[in-house]
Amino acid sequence: MKEFSDNLKRIRIEKKKSKRDLAQGIDVSMSTIENWEKGKSLPNLINLFKLCQLLECSCDALLGVE
């Protein structure tokens, strides 16, 4: 779970998106984004795909799959 949270934060910052941008873009609360970035929880499959679209990255990049 730690790898996902680190990747999400890194990619979000690289793409110059705020936590608020992500939250609004996929219709979740900012605390949900914060929990994902802290490794406290994971997105469901639908929100994972929405994150990928919003951040213009692959699921593999977020999940750390090579």
Domain extents in the chain: 2-61
Q: Rounded to whole angstroms, how far apart are CA atoms 25 and 1?
A: 22
User: Per residue in 2-54, pLDDT tens?
Assistant: 799 999 999 999 999 999 999 999 999 999 999 999 999 999 999 999 999 99
Q: Rounded to whole angstroms, how far apart are CA atoms 22 and 65?
A: 22
CB 62 within 8 A of CB 11: yes
pLDDT at residue number 1: 56
CATH H-level, domain 2-61: superfamily: lambda repressor-like DNA-binding domains (1.10.260.40)
Looking up tokens 């929990």 gives 35
Tell me the three state secondary structure of residue 27: coil
